């Protein structure tokens, strides 16, 4: 049973594809107004926005802020507050990826990943907290990763950023513990997204196997041998926004097919 989020307003960064769509749809299905954000073809984004609004009967808007730019992040939060009158739910989900061994990792890619994966959540939270505190209610959900809980080769920036996101989550949770605000991190395992697709292709090329076989290789370390879905991530996010989860704060919740059990 999904608890109603009628009257709440949500911002989901990185929500024009992948798990961000799953989160946005779950919150909208529960009654929240939703601000979408992300890059992509303008017509496709408008189709997504309009379709979600019509299907779920809520106000759905879109803002194309670049999450690597702190000023644009702050404006995205302000635009959400102007559109809906408040920002109650902040989901920091925007992501990018680059893989290389540490000594060959391009400095500009390190800077870009840290900007989007770690600095952007900080800037968004910083901008959103005053309004949440004034209203005495807020939900902050940061997308971390199984890589936020363990290491992974060729992913220095991604792993460092996701570990940092979990640390940021804990700090914000402690600082807002008496304010009616919760802050949690979701740590997904492998999903079929725009970031995992290229990695599957690299495996296929390197091993000389099909995409299907490369997917099985990728999933070898995920005990269920199944990809996590956006709908599953969205359901967890909706729960974290509910009153039932009001005592769940400062946690890093694994949804990884058993990866973290090993």
CB 139 within 8 A of CB 181: yes
First to last CA, the chain: 31
Whether 62 is a known active-site residue: answer no
Q: SS3 for 126?
A: helix
Q: Which two tokens stand for residue 116?
A: 């989007």
Active-site pick, 84, 158, 190, 227: 158
Q: What are phi and psi of 177, to 5 degrees?
A: -60, -25
CA 65 distance to own-chain centroid: 15
Q: How far apart are CA 91 and CA 100, in angstroms?
A: 28
Q: SS3 for 99?
A: coil
Active site residues: 158
């Amino acid at each position: 049973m999904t608890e109603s989020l009628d009257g709440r307003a949500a911002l989901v960064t990185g929500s024009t594809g992948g798990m961000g769509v799953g989160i946005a749809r779950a919150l909208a299905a529960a009654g929240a107004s939703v601000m979408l954000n992300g890059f992509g073809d303008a017509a496709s984004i408008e189709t997504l926005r309009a379709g979600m609004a019509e299907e779920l009967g809520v106000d759905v808007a879109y803002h194309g802020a670049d999450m690597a730019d702190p000023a644009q992040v702050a404006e995205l939060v302000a635009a959400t507050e102007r559109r809906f009158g408040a920002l109650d739910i902040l989901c920091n989900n925007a992501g990018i990826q680059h893989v290389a061994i540490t000594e060959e990792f391009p400095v500009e890619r390190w800077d870009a990943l840290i900007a989007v994966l770690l600095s952007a959540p900080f800037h968004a939270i910083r901008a959103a907290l005053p309004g949440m505190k004034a209203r005495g209610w807020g939900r902050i959900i940061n997308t971390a990763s199984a890589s936020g809980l363990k290491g992974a080769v060729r992913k220095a920036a991604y792993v460092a950023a996701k570990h940092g996101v979990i640390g940021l989550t804990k700090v914000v949770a402690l600082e807002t513990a008496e304010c009616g605000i919760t802050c949690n991190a979701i740590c997904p395992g492998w999903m079929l997204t725009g970031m995992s697709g290229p990695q599957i292709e690299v495996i296929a090329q390197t091993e000389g196997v099909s995409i299907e076989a490369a997917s099985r290789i990728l999933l070898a370390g995920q005990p269920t041998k199944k990809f996590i879905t956006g709908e599953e991530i969205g359901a967890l996010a909706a729960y974290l926004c509910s009153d039932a989860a009001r005592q769940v704060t400062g946690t890093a919740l694994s949804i990884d097919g058993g990866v973290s059990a090993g």
